Structure formats: structure tokens, C-alpha cells
Amino acid sequence: MPWNRRHLLTLEDLSLAEIDQIHATAAAFKKILGRSVKKVPALRGKTIVNLFLEPSTRTRISFEMAAKRLSADVISFDAASSSTTKGETLRDTAQNIQALNADLIVLRHSASGSPLYLSRVLDIPVVNAGDGAHEHPTQGLLDTFTMREHLGSLRGRKVVILGDILFSRVARSNIHALVKLGAAVTLVGPSTLVPDWFTALGAKVSHDLKSALADAEVVMLLRIQHERQSSSHFPSLGEYTGMFGLNQTRAGWLNPKAIIMHPGPINRGVEIDSDLADGPRSVILEQVTNGIAVRMAVLYLCSGGQPEAVTTNAT
Amino acid sequence: MSPLIIKGARVIDPAAQRDAKGDVFIKDGKFVASLSAADKKRAKKIDAAGLVACPGLVDIHVHFREPGQTHKETIATGSHCAAAGGFTTVVCMPNTSPVADNAGTIQFINDAIRRDAVVKVLPTGCITVGMKGQALAPIGSLKRMGVVAITDDGDCVQSNELMRRACEYAKMFGLPLMDHCQDHSMTQGAVMNEGVMSTRLGLRGWPNAAEDLIVSRNVILSGYTGAHIHLQHISSKLSVEIIRRAKARGVRITAEATPHHIALTDEALAGYDTNFKMNPPLRTEADRQEIIAGLRDGTLDCIGTDHAPHTDYEKDKEFDYAPNGILGLETALAVVLGVLVREQKFKLPQVVDLMTRKPAALLGLPAGTLAPGAAADLCLFDPAEKWRYDAKAGFSKSRNSPWHGQTLTGRVKTTLVDGRVVFDGAKIKA
């Protein structure tokens, strides 16, 4: 089946077959990452612009790294240095970038839906690097890629996502991908941050950590933002940790082979004990590495590449 | 001006419980029961076969943006939209720039109305100074300048104590208070209805409870003070139920529904189209159905469009950053006919009532009737004509309509104000 999508905006829109194609392409690119020459010519002569209108370190670096390993030219700019601070609209900023002959825009934005908006305004492909509390599709793809590396098929596998689900784009993208991949997804956290509406997305909602973690094969932790305290979503970080923080005892409730994931950045000692984050079941840094391969696959496919045409010959 | 005969229309006049084929006679700008033989002979005639003739429509909730935001709309262009939509009397909100919280600004608005409006435009004034919810505006002076109600519009008065005093004070002048019911503490940063759709879209939710709380507050304060509070654009099922119970107890509240809240739900936001962004937001199918039920049983008194123009460049933004509001006047009749008559099987006279007699009556306006002696304000429409609405070709300075490009059924053919044609089905006759 040929790849015929120009934009990557959400995982809600993708079919299972498309997720498989991205994962297969990422697996091919991942082979390059271990080499001494970590570069292929797939996007030589193309210019990718990382338009990051919300602060980000790891996602921006990961996209830059992915683009460079595909031999694309990359320009990144963030909100502070951009003309958006002078009141220029997103449309104008993006159209200027397009007029500068960029071939693809990677957009990070605090406003949900802005990548979809941009995809309607521009002629060039748009890749969503996180929009508000909506989606973070490449994160969902790299997370499920990592799960598949460890567990094989995810059909029927019990996956727990634990933390601030309400405000999390990572949670939403993972839910959509995991549901398509056939996993049994349970969302856990304080009732203020895990409303029942999420069941409409195909996930189970629970506020009982013990029963949720029982026999789970994956637990994905989400960062707890201390701002949620002042917005009265929970009483204190201390209470959160006491009720929902993952520690050794609670990790013992998991399936013995379970992996522990976190999209970062981690609050050590808040949502996860420090030694668990660094422990043998943690795949947190593998997620980061896989992020490059997955983003290479996404940039390649959205630039018109085909999954079967991936060549991993170095430049 | 020669006499005028509207010939062979289906004449609907809810005030007179009239719904029959017949003629409407107009002389010297007023409706008359009949014309003399000589007048009949020299009268101008409008052939209205197949059309409905009803009182000019009345909309007690529009934003005409003058003074201060005339890039969006003016009293002139807003009144053109009204005429094109069959409306002959409209009540404009005070959230202009500056806000209409003093006699001078109302004077400015009245001057613009006298100079520019092709329909009857009536001003409202603010409840509080600067619409800031801290101190009462000079409500007596506003009344003297002719405001027909006071309201802080989108900036719902949050202090219960201040609202209570506003009720008591306004009651002295017989002035109704219009309230946009929203508890701000529950809607910080909110841009759409809170529920499954906001969860899916990752947008900040505006829970219906924030409306229900203020509706309840207003029911209580109206009951306590005896003031008339009109609840604007009800969007929530529970609010309808609260109003229904309050009215059964005889509380002096009235309420309106917008065309968009009876036609659309938050499912329409799937594409983040900012032309579906308004405040209060579109809600669920259950809410929509209850609002319709409220219009059917009289819990909700009338249709109000909340005509809220914003330019392309203001609306063409990330969803979070776009302003709230949509155009309403030019599409209201067709949209309401589509929902209430064709979908929900309301009788046409009941719908006409909701858009003429009832809104006029709740503010005590001399409008919404074809009675002899009344000003000859009339709307002539074809309930079956299909037309494609092009917001770019409309009469507003703005184009922010969710119905742009859609085929609507029911079209205004002629609008008369004081017996004079102000819209002929295609053009404004200024």
C-alpha cells in the first residue's frame, strides 16, 4: 500500500495500516542509528523548518536530529525569536516560511488544532510536534514503537497511562494509537485529571491504582505539572505522590516483565521514584532514541517517500 | 407616500391570532384595516402570492460594534443585515468601545441610529461602570437617553450583591436586566463546551454548570427583588429546566435561544473552525433538544440571534485565540424555519410569534404586530425558496458565519419599515 498522506496532524486520523507503515519505516531507519556514519541522503536538498511556538527541548532536538540524519537542511526557531512576539499571525509567519521555499514545517504550538489550521493554509506538508492538550502524534508513534519492540503485538496487552491525562497531548495520541493496535488501555489518576469522558476514546478510566496496575505490561507515566495545584486539580504534589506516585511497592503489582515509560521531562520523586526511572524495567531513554527513528520515518513519508523505497545506504 | 397593498399573502399576525390568506393595507406608514376605494386605486401593490406576510422580525440581541469597532460592523451595515434578514426592530448590546455606560455614549449611538439605520435600532446600556462589574452605571441617566434594558453582556456581573442592587435599582425605572449567564471562575480559558468533544479536541471546556449557576442566581434575585431579568442565549438543558420551574412559580424572568444553539452541537467543532466558536458555546444534542422543548412550551420566550460580527483576520486564527461570536441576522429566519418548522414540526405561526410578538412584548416595544394603527413594519418571506448563503456577498462588514456556502430554505423577499421598502429581496433601499 503506498503512503499518500502529506501531513501528520493526529493519530486519531491514521489507520492501523498507516501506523504499521510508519513503524516499519522507523525500524529500517533505526538500523542507521547504530552506525558510525549516521546519515542517509533521503531528504538531501530539502529544507525543514521547525516552528516551535511553545518551549521544547527534547522534541525540537529530536526533530532536528532526525532531519539531519536524512540529510535535510534544518532551521529551527522558537517563540522568543520569532515575529509572533511582534503580533504577526500564525498564518503570516507560516506563509513567509513557505515563501522562503521551505519543504516541510514541523509545528509545536500551545493552541490545540493549530497544525490542522496550518495544513489548510499552506501548500507544504505540516507535521504536528504537539498542539496544546490535543495530540503529539510522533510521541504516540515512538511510544507504541517502543512497546512493540518489547512486547511484539500489542493486541490484548494491558497498558496503563498514569497521571495528568486531561491536559496531556501525549495521552491522547497514545490512546488513539493503542486502541487501533488492539491494546487494552486504562487511564489512571485523580478524578479531576482523568474525567470519564475519556471512555469515549476507547480507554477505561480508573482511580484505583492497585487494580489498574495489576498485571499491566506497560505503565506510562505522565509529568505532573505543579500549576495544576493552583488550579485546584489536586491538593499538593505530596498528596499526588502519596496517592499515585509509582514506587517500588506499587511497581511490584505490575506484570513481572512490565516496562516503565515516561515521555519526559521527569519529575523525579513526584510521579516516579528516582530508582525506578533508572531501573532495569525503565525504557525511558530507549523512547528518546526511538524518537529519532520514528521522526525520520515521519519526515521521510510526509516528504513523499515510500515505505518500501527506504534505502539505508549511507551518504 | 402612496398607500400600499400586500396582496394575496398568507398573513400571520400572532398578536391577532391571524393566519389566513389575505391582503395587508398600509397608509401613511401605518397598518390600516382597509383602504378607501380611491386609496385602493392609487395604492402601490406588492403581489405576495405564495409568500408569508408577518410583522417585521424583532431581535433583542445584536452587536453593531459602533462606536469603536466599526471595522467589524456599523449601525448602518448592521441595520442592513437586519433588513435583509426581515428584522425591523433590533436591540443592540452596549459592549462597544467605549462601552455604553453613560448618557454621552448613548447619545452618540442614538445620533448614529437616526443618521444611518434603515431599521429601528434600540440601544441598551451597561449595568456597571466600564462593564467591569464593580460599581453601578448611571442607570437612571441611561434610561432617560432611551435604553430599553441594561446588560453587561459578555461580562456577566459576578458579584451577587452588586447584581442584587442593580435589580432593585433598575426595577425603579421598569428597566429589564439582560444577563449573559456565566460564572467566570469556572470558565477560565474555556473555548468550547466541556464534554466528550472538548476531551477529544484537547480544548479547554466551559461546563454548562457555569451557566446553570448564574441562571439559578438570577432566578433567585429576580424572585427576591421583583426585577425583570432576561436570560440571554440559553445553551444548557439544566438551565431550561431551572427556568421552567421558576416560571411556574411566577418569577419575572424571560429567556431567549439563538438560532445556532437550536441548529448545531459541539460536534461541529471537529475541524476547529472558528466560525463555530461563540459564547456560550455550542453544546450537546441533549441540550439542543431541551432548548427546542423550551421554545415549544414557552419556557424560552423568543429567538435572539446574538449577531456578533468579527472580521476575517480576527477569526482566521488558532481556535484558542479567535474571538467568540458569529453573524446571525441574515440567516436567522431560514435557520429557525429549518429547525423548528421542518425538523421539529412547529406550526409556522408559533415560530413567527417567537421572532416578533414575544421578543417585542418582553421589552414592551411597540413592534411585532400588524394591528391597525401600528407602524407598518413587515416581513414578507417565501418559506420554501432555497438559496445559497454567501457570507461574502452579505450586508455585514464581516463574514463570520457557520452557514457560509450552505443552501438554506426560506428567504426574505421584502422588508418594510414604517410602510417603506428597506429591502426588496436583493438590495437595501436606504
Tell whether B232 is covered by a domain.
yes
Instruction: Give the CATH number for residue B186.
Output: 3.20.20.140
Tell whether B288 is covered by a domain.
yes
Among A114, A200, A231, the residue with its CB nearest the CB of B318 is: A114
Among A91, A113, A231, the residue with its CB nearest the CB of B201 is: A113
Q: Is a pLDDT exceeding 60 seen at residue A315?
A: no
B272/A116 Cβ within 8 A: yes
Residues B194-219: tens digit of each pLDDT: 999 999 999 999 999 999 999 999 99
Q: Which of A174, A197, A222, A227 to mutate to probe the B interface, most B CBs <10 Å?
A: A197
A113 touching chain B per CB within 8 A: yes
Tell whether B13 is covered by a domain.
no
Residue the block writes with cell 432593585? B168
- CATH class of segment(s) A16-135+291-309: alpha beta
Q: How confident is the model at residue A231 (pLDDT cuts 50, 70, 90)?
A: confident
Name the amino acid, one letter, at B169. Answer: Y
> What percent of chain A stands above pLDDT 90?
84
Q: How far is B257 from chain A (nearest CA, A)?
A: 27
Please determine whether the domains at A16-135+291-309 and A137-287 fall in the same fold group of CATH.
Answer: yes
| Host domain of residue B348 | 56-362
Q: How far is A36 from chain B (nearest CA, A)?
A: 41
Find chain B residues with C-beta within 8 A of A90's C-beta.
Answer: 317-318
Please report the number of interchain residue pairs, chain A to chain B, with beta-carbon separation below 8 angstroms. Answer: 60
Beta strands A218-221 and A204-206: pairing type? unpaired
Interatomic CA distance for residues B252 and B229, integer angstroms: 7
Q: Residue B120: which of B151, B91, B77, B143 has the closest Cα?
A: B91
> Under a CB-based contact definition with an 8 Å cutoff, are residues B283 and B265 in contact?
yes
A114/B202 Cβ within 8 A: no
Residues A241-294: tens digit of each pLDDT: 999 999 999 999 999 999 999 999 999 999 999 999 999 999 999 999 999 999
- Report chain B's terminal Cα–Cα distance, integer Å: 15
The torsion defined by the Cα of B45, B46, B51 and B55, in degrees rounded to 10, comes to -80
Find chain A residues with C-beta within 8 A of B319's C-beta.
Answer: 111-114, 117
> Under a CB-based contact definition with an 8 Å cutoff, are residues B61 and B30 in contact?
no
Average pLDDT over residues A210-230: 89
Query: What dotted CATH number matches A137-287?
Result: 3.40.50.1370
Tell whether B426 is covered by a domain.
no
B272/A112 Cβ within 8 A: yes
- ipTM for this prediction: 0.95
A110 touching chain B per CB within 8 A: yes
> What percent of chain B stands above pLDDT 70?
100
Tell whether B51 is covered by a domain.
no
Residues B309-355: tens digit of each pLDDT: 999 999 999 999 999 999 999 999 999 999 999 999 999 999 999 99
Q: Which of B196, B200, B285, B317 to mutate to probe the A interface, most A CBs <10 Å?
A: B200
Is B316 considered catalytic here? no
A164 touching chain B per CB within 8 A: no
> What percent of chain B stands above pLDDT 90?
100
Q: How far is B72 from chain A (nearest CA, A)?
A: 18
Residues B377-392: tens digit of each pLDDT: 999 999 999 999 999 9
pLDDT score, position B320: 96
Interatomic CA distance for residues B428 and B160, integer angstroms: 45
Tell whether B254 is covered by a domain.
yes
Among B198, B200, B317, the residue with its CB nearest the CB of A89 is: B317
B195/A197 Cβ within 8 A: yes
**CA distance to A13, A138, A240, B344, B390, per residue, from B271 (Å):** 12, 20, 35, 27, 20
B203 touching chain A per CB within 8 A: yes
Q: How many domains does chain B have?
A: 1
A113/B203 Cβ within 8 A: yes
Which strand (E) or helix (H) includes residue B255?
strand B253-257
B154 touching chain A per CB within 8 A: no
Q: Is a pLDDT exceeding 90 seen at residue A227?
A: no
Residue-wise burial string across B232-249, b where 16 or more C-beta atoms lie within 10 A, e elsewhere: bbbbbbbbbbbbbebbee
Q: Could you state, in order of their start, the residue ranges of all structural domains in chain A?
A: 16-135+291-309, 137-287
Provide the 8-state DSSP code for B427. Answer: -
pLDDT score, position A230: 72
A172/B203 Cβ within 8 A: no
> Under a CB-based contact definition with an 8 Å cutoff, are residues B137 and B103 in contact?
no
Find chain B residues with C-beta within 8 A of A135's C-beta.
Answer: 202
A197/B201 Cβ within 8 A: no
Find chain A residues with C-beta within 8 A of B188's C-beta.
Answer: 231
Q: Is a pLDDT exceeding 80 seen at residue A81?
A: no
Q: Which of B13, B179, B306, B418 is catalytic?
A: B306
A93 touching chain B per CB within 8 A: no
B202/A135 Cβ within 8 A: yes
Among B200, B203, B318, the residue with its CB nearest the CB of A109 is: B318
A172/B319 Cβ within 8 A: no
A29 touching chain B per CB within 8 A: no
Query: What average pLDDT does chain A have?
Result: 94
pTM (two decimals): 0.96
**A256 CB burial (10 A radius; 0-12, 13-18, 19+):** exposed
Query: Could you say which residues from 210 to 249 on chain A have a Cβ atom under 8 Å away from some Cβ of chain B?
Result: 231
At residue B329, φ and ψ (nearest 5 deg) are: -65, -40
Q: Is a pLDDT exceeding 90 seen at residue B363?
A: yes
B273 touching chain A per CB within 8 A: no
**CA distance to A168, A203, B266, B367, per residue, from A175 (Å):** 11, 7, 22, 56
For Cα atoms B60, B66, B70, give the angle at the middle one, nearest 5 degrees.
Answer: 125
> Under a CB-based contact definition with an 8 Å cutoff, are residues A307 and A26 in contact?
no
Residues A9-40: tens digit of each pLDDT: 999 999 999 999 999 999 999 998 888 888 99
Tell whether B214 is covered by a domain.
yes
For Cα atoms B267, A175, A200, give the angle at the middle one, nearest 5 degrees.
Answer: 40
Q: How confident is the model at residue A85 (pLDDT cuts 50, 70, 90)?
A: low
Interatomic CA distance for residues B188 and A291, integer angstroms: 34
Among A90, A91, A201, the residue with its CB nearest the CB of B200 is: A201
B199/A195 Cβ within 8 A: yes
Q: Is a pLDDT exceeding 70 seen at residue A80?
A: no
Tell whether B220 is covered by a domain.
yes
C-alpha cell of residue A240: 499526588
Among A110, A117, A197, the residue with its CB nearest the CB of B272 is: A117
Query: What average pLDDT does chain B have?
Result: 97
Nearest chain B residue to A200, by CA: B196
Q: Is a pLDDT exceeding 60 seen at residue A76?
A: yes
Q: How far is A57 from chain B (nearest CA, A)?
A: 22
Please name the residue ranges forming H helices in B192-310: 196-201, 208-225, 237-248, 259-263, 285-297
Nearest chain A residue to B270, by CA: A113
Interatomic CA distance for residues B247 and A305, integer angstroms: 65
In three-state form (DSSP H/G/I as H, E/B as E, the rest C), the secondary structure along chain A is CCCCCCCECCCCCCCHHHHHHHHHHHHHHHHHHCCCCCCCCCCCCCEEEEEECCCCCHHHHHHHHHHHHCCCEEEEEEHHHCHHHHCCCHHHHHHHHHHCCCCEEEEEECCCCHHHHHHHHCCCCEEEEEECCCECHHHHHHHHHHHHHHHCCCCCCEEEEECCCCCCHHHHHHHHHHHHCCCEEEEECCCCCCCHHHHHHCCEEECCHHHHHCCCCEEEECCCCCHHHHCCCCCCHHHHHHHHCECHHHHCCCCCCCEEECCCCCCECCCECHHHHCCCCECHHHHHHHHHHHHHHHHHHHCCCCHHHCCCCCC
Residue-wise burial string across B89-99, b where 16 or more C-beta atoms lie within 10 A, e elsewhere: bbbbbbbbeeb
Among B196, B318, B319, the residue with its CB nearest the CB of A200 is: B196
